[in-house]
Amino acid sequence: MRDNLIIYILILFNLTGKAQSTNVLLEDHIYNDKIRTVLLYPALDDPENPTRLISPPLIQLQSQAPLVLEFDDMKGVYEGYRAKIIHCNADWTKSNLNDIEFTYEYNDYRILKYDQSFSTKVPYYHYRFEVPRLKLSGNYILVVYSDGDRNAVLSRRFMVYENRININAQARFSQGIDQQFADQQIDFTINYNGYQLIAPQTDLKVVMRKNFRWDQMRTNFKPTNVRPFDHILEYTFFNLENTFPGGNEFRYFDSRTLAARGFGIIELQREADFTKLILFPDKSRAENSYLQLEDLNGQYIVDQRESGRGSVEADYTPVLFNLHIAEDPDMTVYVNGSFNLWQLNERNKMTYNPDTQAYEAEILLKQGVVNYDYTVVRANGKPDESYVEGNYAATENDYDILVYHRPPASRADLLVGYRTVEWNRRR
């Protein structure tokens, strides 16, 4: 009786249009230009430990450590925000589950933790929210919306997984003749002993990602061999379905202190309202030999060296990126990285400057260590990182494998297996 009443209230609340914006995208997205530095990560004991930001937004179902969301509001005045959680299927379409089926509480959470920036030239309010425990594994969207006009300001993907099956995987050089010096291959098997599958050939949905990026993803894998007595599914491919371009080590700069020039910064321009950073000129690396560098695989660490409290004492600085390559009117160039949620939009779009003969972009970024590369988009609309960065099989990368299953009579896909694979890891 109580559960039916709660469901009725949830339906009524949604019909009034007050629960969330109707234009929420089921992906990582920022809807308000005043929202910056959106971070979602598994919590650590030290909330200011910068390494917390390297891990992807993914936790085990029974984990005692929650996921933590952080973001900044550049309006510089307090505004109330609320959060809502949406359960999604393996393909990131909204599932048919009611809120009560995957949440323990009423699915509308007020964000209570916030601080005003301290001793920064650029003022902002910093918000922090711990994602509540959930009942089911699977894909989720965390939506944050304004408490005033109820419009969404951001959405972030996250996953909750169970280890119901075992995944064995290894990374190696691509077995393709033409790809062996440029691509990397992930071979894997799935052991489902103790977990019931009615049709092992088709029941599982497998997703593989490079560096935890949804824009670097492979899916629609089918086992090439089923061993039912051993409960083993073998995924051995012959048409390079499981290969990824190696890419290159990410470029980076270090702005954790503004008292002096950090790595990758050629000039500091101190103004009354901000401190502008000019980066060293970048050039194409597509024709160079592979050079080993220590990077964060595209991740972004927020930090402030003097105080160690990057969340509220790290300043925002305009950063000038400049890429010296020949102008091509048939392509658009972007500065890419997790600092912009791997989105290619007006925030990180570059324009060609004929005076400097370089593509340039000025982007407002919070202090820290920023990994980035350059991505080209041509008329076909397909992003291409290799045009500027090149592809090298020796590049250090992280891969992860996500396995989804919809049990009989279930109305949603569950995440029943997860495994990470490191290639050429040196740290």
Q: Going by C-beta distance under 8 Å and a sequence separation of 6 or more, which residues neighbour residue 148?
A: 79, 80
pLDDT one-digit tens code per residue, 374-417:
999 998 889 999 999 999 999 999 999 999 999 998 899 999 99
Per residue in 351-381, pLDDT tens?
A: 999 999 999 999 999 999 999 999 999 988 8
HSE of 397, CA atoms in CB hemisphere, 13 A: 29
326 confidence band (pLDDT: 50, 70, 90) = very high
Residue 283's pLDDT band (cuts 50, 70, 90): very high
Q: Spell 132-144 as b/e; 16+ CB within 10 A means b.
A: eebebbbbbbbbb
pLDDT at 79 over 70: yes
For every residue of 162-209, DSSP letters joined together read: --SSEEEEEEEE--STTTTTTEEEEEEEEE-TTS--S-TTTSEEEEEE
Q: Is residue 292's pLDDT more than 90? A: no
What single-letter DSSP state applies at residue 94?
Answer: B
Task: Give per-residue pLDDT as tens, 133-158.
Answer: 999 999 999 999 998 889 999 999 99
Residue 2 has pLDDT above 80, yes or no: no
What is the number of H-type helices and E-type strands within the chain? 4, 29
Neighbouring CB atoms inside 10 A of 287's CB total 6
Q: What is the DSSP letter of 271?
A: -
Average of per-residue pLDDT values in the chain: 90
Are the C-beta atoms of residues 373 and 50 closer than 8 Å to each other? no
Gap between the Cα atoms of 385 and 282, Å rounded: 14
CA distance 145 to 84: 8
* CA angle centred on 46, ends 43 and 49, rounded to 5°: 90
Element (DSSP H or E) covering residue 357: none
HEC string of 120-141 equals CCCCCEEEEEECCCECCCEEEE
pLDDT, position 180 = 83
Determine the Cα–Cα distance for residues 277 and 166; give it in Å rounded to an integer.
47
Q: Which residue has the higher pLDDT, 324 or 175?
A: 324
CA 160 to chain centre: 15
Q: Is the model's pLDDT at 237 over the cut of 90? A: no
Amino acid occupying residue 100: I
The pTM of this model reads 0.90
Residue 191 has pLDDT above 80, yes or no: yes
- Contacts of the segment 382-389: beta carbons below 8 A, 24+ positions apart: 383/215, 383/334, 383/336, 383/344, 385/245, 385/247, 385/336, 386/245, 386/247, 386/286, 387/284, 387/286, 387/331, 388/284, 388/285, 388/286, 388/323, 388/325, 388/333, 389/247, 389/248, 389/285, 389/286
Confidence class of residue 22 from pLDDT cuts 50, 70 and 90? low
Kindly state the average pLDDT of the residues 35-41.
96
Q: Are 113 and 125 in contact (CB under 8 A)?
A: no
Q: How is the chain split among helix, strand and coil, in percent rounded to 5?
A: 10, 40, 50
Q: What percent of the chain has pLDDT over 90?
A: 78
Can you list the domains of the chain with their CATH numbers?
2-161 (2.60.40), 166-246+395-423 (2.60.40), 251-389 (no CATH)
pLDDT at position 427 is 61
pLDDT at residue 122 greater than cutoff 70: yes
Say what the pLDDT of residue 227 is. 93
Could you tell me the pLDDT band of residue 130, with boundaries at 50, 70 and 90? very high
pLDDT of residue 5: 45
Read off the pLDDT band of 264 (50, 70, 90).
Answer: very high
Residue 4 has pLDDT above 80, yes or no: no
